[in-house]
Amino acid sequence: MAIMIKSPAEIEKMRHSGRLLRQVHEYIAPMVVAGATTMDLERAAQSKIDELGALAAFKGYHGYPAALCTSINEEVVHGMPNDKRVLKQGDILSIDCGLIVDGFYSDAAVTYAVGTPTPAISKLLDVTRASLYAAIEEAQVGGRLFDISAAVQDLCEAQGFGVVKEFVGHGIGRNMHEDPQVPNFGTRGKGPRLKAGMVLAIEPMINAGKPEVRVLPDGWTAVTVDGSYSAHFEHTVAITNSGPQILTI
Ligand code: MF3
Ligand code: CO
């Protein structure tokens, strides 16, 4: 399938979707505290999504049961909200959410430390976040897709972290997942040429230890094989003639 090009008007609709998604993230961020459950966050997010008149993009997607993915510690992605899972000091929590607004998807994830992080956790979060912004900087007209991928890989592997290979970013628009896949590893100067109007969900998933992951018997939750903590940051980004534009801001 070809990589779809969005018109400026379509990008504005995606920006609107992304802005509402940011409001959802901002609404629940202060609730990421010791003692809260991931189901508390899910309920709050769903009520905010309803209030905004948006649709939760993940809910019902291949049978996924919730608006949020809430992935704690060694969980990499696709952790499911659970009313028995109580957050505690020292945990890290990735919150991933997507919306559909006026037919257009937006997708964004943030990883938070619960309480005061150790230096090792701060480093994992800081490096993973920095790799997302380094990748976004590579989303330039005339560049190549794997310039984005290499930016993540180079930065994170230089710090000794493991880059997850099994899950990747993606094109996004009238569907949550469009071409191209956006891996977090690759060779600079390779891959499809980047063009104005492409919109990508760029989402480094980075393990403090080895890169290998496996999926739990619940069929969704991906965890690190070595038990190391994993971080995940994601933005929906439009490639334009005036440079990359983060739509989920
Ligand atoms: N950000 C994730 C993705 O790009 C979210 C999908 S979770 C699912 O695939 F539950 F919807 F599958
Ligand atoms: Co995504």
What integer pLDDT is reported at residue 190 of this predicted model? 98
Q: pLDDT tens, 137-175?
A: 999 999 999 999 999 999 999 999 999 999 999 999 999
Distance in angstroms (rounded) separating the CA atoms of residues 167 and 193: 22
Q: pLDDT tens, 178-213?
A: 999 999 999 999 999 999 999 999 999 999 999 999
Which pLDDT band, with edges at 50, 70 and 90, does 1 fall under? confident
What integer pLDDT is reported at residue 234 of this predicted model? 99
Which residue in 194, 192, 193, 223 sits closest to 210, CA to CA?
223
| Tokens, residue 12 | 């504005």
Residue 234: enclosing H or E segment and its boundaries?
none
What integer pLDDT is reported at residue 204 of this predicted model? 99
Q: pLDDT tens, 26-44?
A: 999 999 999 999 999 999 9
Across 96-117, average pLDDT: 98
Do residues 142 and 193 make contact, with C-beta atoms less than 8 angstroms apart?
yes
Domains of the chain: 8-246 (3.90.230.10)
Given the structure tokens 């480093």, which residue do they identify? 123
Centre of ligand 1 from the C-alpha of residue 179, in Å: 15
Centre of ligand 1 from the C-alpha of residue 21, in Å: 14
Given the structure tokens 């996924």, which residue do they identify? 64
What is the helix, strand, coil percentage profile of the chain, to 5? 30, 30, 40
Distance in angstroms (rounded) separating the CA atoms of residues 212 and 88: 26
- pLDDT of residue 241 exceeding 90: yes
- pLDDT of residue 72 exceeding 90: yes
* Residue 93 backbone phi and psi in degrees, to 5: -130, 120
Q: Please choose from 78, 105, 111, 182 the residue to mutate so as to test ligand 1's pocket, defined by most ligand atoms within 8 A of CB.
A: 78
User: What is the chain's mean pLDDT, rounded?
Assistant: 98
What integer pLDDT is reported at residue 140 of this predicted model? 98
Residues contacting ligand 1 via CB (< 6 Å): 58, 61-62, 64, 69, 78, 96, 98, 107, 170, 201, 234
* Residue 245 backbone phi and psi in degrees, to 5: -125, 125
Name the residue at shortest CA distance from atom 6 of ligand 1.
Answer: 58
pTM over 0.95: yes
Across 106-135, average pLDDT: 99
Q: Which residues contact 112 (CB under 8 A, 6 or more apart)?
A: 29, 32, 92, 93, 94, 95
List strands edge to edge, sheet with 213-215: 75-77, 222-224, 213-215
* Residue 162 backbone phi and psi in degrees, to 5: -100, 125
Rounded to 5°, angle at Cα 6 from 167 and 135: 40
| Tokens, residue 219 | 């069929």
- The ligand minimizing its distance to the Cα of 222 is 1
Distance in angstroms (rounded) separating the CA atoms of residues 66 and 98: 11
